[in-house]
C-alpha cells in the first residue's frame, strides 16, 4: 500500500502540493489526472524520492521512504517517463536489464528474466541487439516499459508515458498496460493530463487541482457523481453519461420479459455495446441471453435512458 500523509511541497512561490493525503491499495491502477501545474508529476516523483516533500510523510509497504536509501528504494519501483530516457550507448537488451544488473542478479536469472519481459511486453526479439536510436518513439517507450518491469517491482510509476506518442502507438501501449496490470496485479501510479486515458486505464482516478485532490474514486463514481464544478468541467468533454454505459452490464437494466423477438445480446455485455447494437440494427429493443444462450430478459432503449429501479 502507498500512503501519502498530509504532504506539502513548495517551489519558490508555487505551492505544488498542498497538504495532500492519499491511500492507494495494492494492485490498484491509479491514474493521477489534472490540468498542467496541478502537482500530479510532483506527487509521482515524491513517491520514489526524486523530490523530497517539505512536510508530511510518504510510506510504501508500511515503511517511511525518508528512512530508506534513495537508490535502494528506487530499484524496487518501476519508473517510466514521457521522454523515455533509454541509455543511447546501451543495446535494447542492456537497457531492459538495467535494474536486474543494479540488483546484481546472476547471469542466468537475467537471461531468463529478459525472455519473460520480452514476452510480457511484446517486444520484438529482433530489437534486442539494436540501439535505441534505431527504434521509433513507440518502440522506444515499449522498451521503457520493459525496463521498468524487468526488476519485478511491485509498484510502477509512470509519468505521462504515452503523451508524446502517435495515436496507434499510444493505444497499443495502453492495451499492453491494461493486460500487464490484469496479469500481474502490480500497483501502478500513472500520471496523465488526458482524462480519457485516465478513465480508460484507471481503477482508481485521482483528480488533482492546485495541489489538492479534487475528487478520487472509481471511473464510474467520478462520471456519475462529479463532486464540484471543477470536476464536472474537467470530465465534461468526455461525454460522461455516454461513457458510464461502458461500466455497466446489460443485466442491471434489463426487464424480465422473455417473449418479445429482438436481436440478441449477452447479459454481461456493456450498456454501450447494447446501445451500439440498437443503433446498428435500427431497433429499440434487444433480447438478453446468458452465456449458455438461454433467454433471460429484454432491454429497451427506455431502460438505457432510465434505470428500472431508479439508480
Chain residues binding another protein by CB under 8 A are 48, 50, 71-76, 79, 81, 83-89, 98-99, 102, 144, 147-148, 157
Q: Rounded to 5 degrees, what angle do the CA atoms 70, 164, 214 make?
A: 65
Smallest distance, another protein to C-beta of residue 220, A = 32
For another protein, the closer of residues 71 and 229 by Cβ is 71
Cβ neighbours of residue 65 under 8 Å, at least 6 residues apart? 47, 48, 49, 58, 59, 73
Smallest distance, another protein to C-beta of residue 61, A = 16
**Residue located via cell numbers 515524491:** 46
For another protein, the closer of residues 58 and 214 by Cβ is 58
For another protein, the closer of residues 130 and 210 by Cβ is 130
The answer to whether the CB of 161 falls within 8 A of the CB of 80 is: yes
Per-residue cell: 212: 489538492
Q: Rounded to 5 degrees, what angle do the CA atoms 239, 240, 246 make?
A: 105
Smallest distance, another protein to C-beta of residue 136, A = 16
For another protein, the closer of residues 50 and 275 by Cβ is 50
Smallest distance, another protein to C-beta of residue 172, A = 21
Smallest distance, another protein to C-beta of residue 20, A = 21
For another protein, the closer of residues 132 and 240 by Cβ is 132
Helix 137-150 to helix 167-184 angle (10° resolution) is 20
For another protein, the closer of residues 9 and 45 by Cβ is 45
Smallest distance, another protein to C-beta of residue 114, A = 16
Amino acid at each position: 500500500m502507498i500512503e501519502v500523509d498530509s504532504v506539502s511541497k513548495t517551489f519558490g512561490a508555487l505551492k505544488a502540493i498542498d497538504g495532500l493525503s492519499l491511500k492507494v491499495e495494492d494492485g490498484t491502477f491509479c491514474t493521477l489526472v489534472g490540468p498542467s501545474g496541478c502537482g500530479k508529476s510532483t506527487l509521482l516523483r515524491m513517491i520514489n524520492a526524486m523530490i523530497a516533500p517539505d512536510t508530511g510523510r510518504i510510506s510504501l509497504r508500511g515503511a517511511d521512504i525518508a528512512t530508506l536509501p534513495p537508490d535502494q528504494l528506487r530499484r524496487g519501483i518501476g519508473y517510466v517517463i514521457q521522454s523515455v530516457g533509454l541509455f543511447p550507448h546501451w543495446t535494447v537488451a542492456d537497457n531492459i536489464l538495467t535494474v536486474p544488473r543494479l540488483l546484481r542478479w546472476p547471469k542466468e536469472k537475467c537471461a531468463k528474466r529478459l525472455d519473460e519481459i520480452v514476452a510480457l511486453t511484446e517486444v520484438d526479439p529482433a530489437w534486442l541487439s539494436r540501439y535505441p536510436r534505431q527504434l521509433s518513439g513507440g518502440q522506444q517507450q515499449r522498451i521503457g516499459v520493459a525496463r521498468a518491469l524487468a526488476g519485478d517491482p511491485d509498484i510502477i510509476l509512470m509519468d505521462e508515458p504515452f503523451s508524446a506518442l502517435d495515436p496507434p502507438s499510444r493505444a497499443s501501449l495502453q492495451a499492453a498496460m491494461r493486460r500487464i496490470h490484469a496479469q500481474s496485479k502490480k500497483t501502478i501510479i500513472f500520471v496523465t493530463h488526458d482524462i480519457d486515458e485516465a478513465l480508460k486505464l484507471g481503477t482508481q482516478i485521482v483528480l488533482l487541482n492546485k495541489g489538492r485532490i479534487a475528487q478520487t474514486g472509481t471511473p464510474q463514481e467520478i462520471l456519475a457523481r462529479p463532486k464540484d464544478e471543477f470536476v464536472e468541467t474537467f470530465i465534461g468533454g468526455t461525454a460522461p453519461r455516454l461513457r458510464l454505459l461502458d461500466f455497466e452490464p446489460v443485466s442491471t437494466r434489463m426487464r424480465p420479459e422473455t417473449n418479445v423477438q429482438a436481436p440478441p445480446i449477452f447479459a454481461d455485455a456493456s450498456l454501450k455495446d447494447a446501445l451500439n447494437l440498437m443503433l446498428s440494427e435500427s431497433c429499440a429493443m434487444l433480447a438478453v441471453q446468458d452465456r449458455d444462450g438461454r433467454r433471460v430478459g429484454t432491454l429497451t432503449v427506455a431502460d438505457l435512458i432510465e434505470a428500472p429501479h431508479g439508480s
